[in-house]
């Protein structure tokens, strides 16, 4: 039998809050990362086995995602992609302070805003197995060691999504 999961005071917690607006649902998930690390290897469905996602090699023949990641990882901090569209919106991809950052700001009424902030160590862990696998369990372990803060925020006219890590078990914002 596996040892029971014990959320300790120093544990970091993964929080996922989804608010679908006044007419929709509200979902809050607050779990210690140590628990997530133990659960992921126990899931065995289709292309997700033992904490790893198996990607069909045929889908990756035209783009070597790992080679691209190594190039980004080795580059100096900076803004790598910037798109300023008069009609559609703005997009930027950058690397700064040990983080990969993606920002999308749509234009127009009810425009969506998306922010993604991923620690470099988490990206390294995701790509660690090589081949056609992505290691989600290793990424969670890296995330628990890497600090706190927002990972993903999405704001649309009707919905708000926030995913973050901190030491607060209650997941208050």
What's the longest Cα–Cα distance across the chain? 59
The pair of structure tokens assigned to 153 is 């925020």
> What pLDDT is recorded for position 1?
47
Q: What is the pTM of this model?
A: 0.80
Q: What is the mean pLDDT of the chain?
A: 86
Q: How does pLDDT run across 87-135, given as a tens digit for each residue?
A: 888 999 999 999 999 999 998 777 899 999 999 999 999 988 777 788 9
Q: Rounded to an integer, what distance in angstroms lies between the CA atom of residue 10 and that of residue 120?
A: 22
Q: Rounded to an integer, what distance in angstroms lies between the CA atom of residue 39 and that of residue 37?
A: 6
The pair of structure tokens assigned to 10 is 């120093």
> What pLDDT is recorded for position 22?
86
Average of per-residue pLDDT across 7-20: 81
| More confident position, 56 or 82 | 82
| More confident position, 132 or 75 | 75
Q: What percent of the chain has pLDDT over 70?
A: 88
């Amino acid at each position: 039998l596996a040892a029971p999961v014990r959320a300790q005071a120093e544990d970091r917690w993964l929080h996922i809050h989804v608010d679908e607006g006044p007419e929709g649902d509200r979902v809050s998930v607050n779990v210690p990362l140590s628990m997530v690390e133990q659960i992921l290897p126990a899931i065995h469905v289709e292309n997700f086995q033992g904490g790893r996602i198996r990607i069909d090699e045929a889908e990756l023949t035209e783009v070597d995602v790992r080679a691209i990641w190594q190039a980004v990882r080795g580059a100096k901090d900076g803004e790598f992609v910037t798109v300023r569209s008069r009609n559609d919106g703005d997009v930027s991809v950058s690397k700064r302070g040990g983080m990969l950052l993606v920002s999308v700001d749509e234009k127009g009424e009810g425009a969506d805003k998306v922010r993604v902030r991923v620690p470099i160590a988490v990206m390294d862990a995701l790509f660690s197995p090589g081949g056609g696998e992505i290691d989600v369990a290793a990424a969670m372990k890296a995330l628990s060691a890497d600090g706190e803060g927002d990972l993903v925020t999405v704001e649309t006219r009707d919905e708000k999504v926030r995913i973050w890590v901190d030491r607060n078990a209650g997941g208050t914002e």
